[in-house]
Amino acid sequence: MVRKYFAVASIVLLLAAMAVAVDSYNQEWRQWQRAFLTELKRREKGTLSLWDRLEIERTIDLERVKVVTEPGRSVETCMACHTNVGVPGFEQDPLRDLLALHQNVTVVQEMPFDQIGCVACHGGDGLALTSERAHENMLSRYAEIFEEALAKLRSPKQMVRQKGIETIRWLTGDDFGFSFSAPPEAREEAIRRIETWWALHRDTFLAAGYGERESPFKTPNPQRQALLERPEVSPIGETLEFVGSNTCVACHTTPRPGGTSYIPPSNKEHVERWFRDELKTSTNPEIYLYNHPWLAEVLANQFIDDPQRRKELLSLVDEARRTGRWPEPQQVQELLDLMRSLDVTCEACHGPGGEYARMMMKGLAFEFEGRSEEAAQLIAEAAKRARENARRSVSDPRIWRIIEQLLSR
């Protein structure tokens, strides 16, 4: 009798163990690593023996691809699936080559994936092992998430409405006066306020800084903090673009439509001081090029299309920065020409204006339409960005070395 139970129990246990093994074999991240490693072996050997397949199975590993962004605090497993760094010829996510995908993202070249991870730029759940969970809250999905949440506000179910407004509060820091238990007319009124806000901010959602809010339940990601402190990249690590000082000065010296100036007198003095010929990048391109911490990188990314040439230019600049010996002008001719024609003097301190100057423009357009409250909000956000960038820049001694050199000429 006892022996019979024992036999049944053994079989059950064996089946359970097999089920666990099959389940583990089929985990999504294992499938992607297996596909990647199998393709590598196939390229190397043609056809695979059983031994090769066992070898592959042994190599599949979470530890191998785990990124520790800060010891003891923050770990990411995105690369459990996005495992290909530097192997060409894969067409499909997550196996496409991460280096190729990010060749335009300068920061990645300074902080390689195994230090910075992915979440600092893309967001998402760094510990998830299914793609659905990993991607749920990625920054690139914030607009989608916002719209899904907005739709929920009209649900007949109170619980769903509550979830909707919680998401919107998380994304924007504001509930716009929406209460999920208020009477329908009051809810509809608040929804219209949210829709107006959304129409205004849709395009500049990330630029305005709203999507950056971390969940209160998470510890802040230190790499993300490091990114936010860089004036030359957007919150998702995209290289920003210069608009040129003439664009800044076109607004910052012209009277407003109503007759007052865009810039109060204190601003005027500031702009005139920095728009003196001898301080312009167009007059002294070399001093800026070889002493500025990121100007060359932004220019090259924005305007030099050939990746090979871009690399060449940046390595010449890098060498000049390190050794103090400048290359022949014709070796970096494109960059010098760009600085002469574009003149990025203001942006050397205030950071590339591609985003905040556009917000300032959009704000003024709203002001013309009489939507002054929205205009004020957008302009304030843009101004904050331009000011914060400048403050960061002038706390960098390298910027002052440039000014000293220019003034002592």
Q: Does 113 bind ligand HEC (CB under 6 A)?
A: yes
List the Cα angle 302/233/224 in 5-degree steps.
155
Residue 245 Cβ vs ligand HEC, minimum distance, rounded to whole Å: 5
Separation of alpha carbons 209 and 111, rounded Å:
23
User: Please, which residue, 228 or 361, has the CB nearer to ligand HEC?
Assistant: 361
Q: Taking CB under 6 A as the criterion, which residues in 69-88 touch ligand HEC? A: 77-82
Pick the stretch among 2-10, 145-153, 305-313, 384-392 that binds ligand HEC (CB under 6 A): 384-392
CA 394, 398, 403, 407 torsion: positive or negative?
positive
Regarding 285 and contact with ligand HEC (CB under 6 A), the answer is: no
Q: What angle do CA 207, 375, 140 make, to 5 degrees?
A: 20
Q: Please choose, out of 142-150, 281-289, 301-309, 339-347, the segment that lies near ligand HEC by the rule CB under 6 A.
A: 339-347
Comparing CB distances to ligand HEC, the nearer of 131 and 155 is: 131
What is the Cα–Cα distance from 119 to 123, expressed in whole angstroms? Answer: 4
Q: What gap in Å lies between CA 286 and CA 329, rounded to an integer? A: 9
By CB under 6 A, name the one of 297, 347, 355, 381 that touches ligand HEC.
347
Shortest approach of ligand HEC to residue 5 CB, angstroms? Answer: 41
Distance CA 199, CA 184 (A): 22
Nearest distance in Å: CB 115, ligand HEC = 9
Stretch that binds ligand HEC, among 126-134, 163-171, 175-183, 318-326 (CB under 6 A): 126-134
380 Cβ contact list (under 8 Å, min separation 6): none
Alpha carbon 349 to chain centroid, angstroms: 21
Shortest spacing between CB 66 and ligand HEC, in angstroms: 11
The reply on whether position 135 binds ligand HEC by CB under 6 A is yes
Q: Which two tokens stand for residue 245?
A: 């000082």
Tokens coding 353? 């204006």
Site for ligand HEC in 149-208 (CB under 6 A): none
- Exposure class string for 257-267: b at 16+ Cβ within 10 A, else e: eeeeebbeeee
CA distances from 33 to 113, 244, 306 (A): 17, 46, 32
Q: Which of 33, 172, 284, 345 binds ligand HEC (CB under 6 A)?
A: 345
Residue with tokens 């190397």: 44
Q: Name the minimum Å distance from CB 299 to ligand HEC.
A: 14
Establish if 211 lies at the interface with ligand HEC (CB under 6 A). Answer: no
Greatest CA separation for the chain: 102
Q: Is there a contact between 211 and 235 (Cβ–Cβ < 8 Å)?
A: yes
Tell me how far, at minimum, the Cβ of 164 lies from ligand HEC, in Å.
22
Amino acid at 124: G
**According to CB under 6 A, which residues from 349 to 368 bind ligand HEC?**
349-350, 353, 357, 360-361, 364
Of residues 30, 32, 152, 314, which one binds ligand HEC by CB under 6 A? 32
Q: Which of residues 223-242 bind ligand HEC (CB under 6 A)?
A: 236-238
Per CB under 6 A, the list member of 43, 391, 398, 401 interacting with ligand HEC is 391
Site string for ligand HEC, 247-276 (x = CB under 6 A): xxx-xx---------xx--xx--xx--xx-
Number of residues near ligand HEC (by CB under 6 A): 73
Q: With contact defined as beta carbons under 8 Å apart, do 101 and 113 qualify?
A: no
> Cα separation of 345 and 246, whole Å?
9
- Would you say 40 or 75 has its CB closer to ligand HEC? 75
**Nearest distance from C-beta of residue 260 to ligand HEC, angstroms:** 9
Is residue 395 close enough to count as binding ligand HEC by CB under 6 A?
A: no
Among 124, 211, 231, 285, binds ligand HEC (CB under 6 A): 124
Nearest alpha-carbon partner for 288 in 364, 340, 239: 340
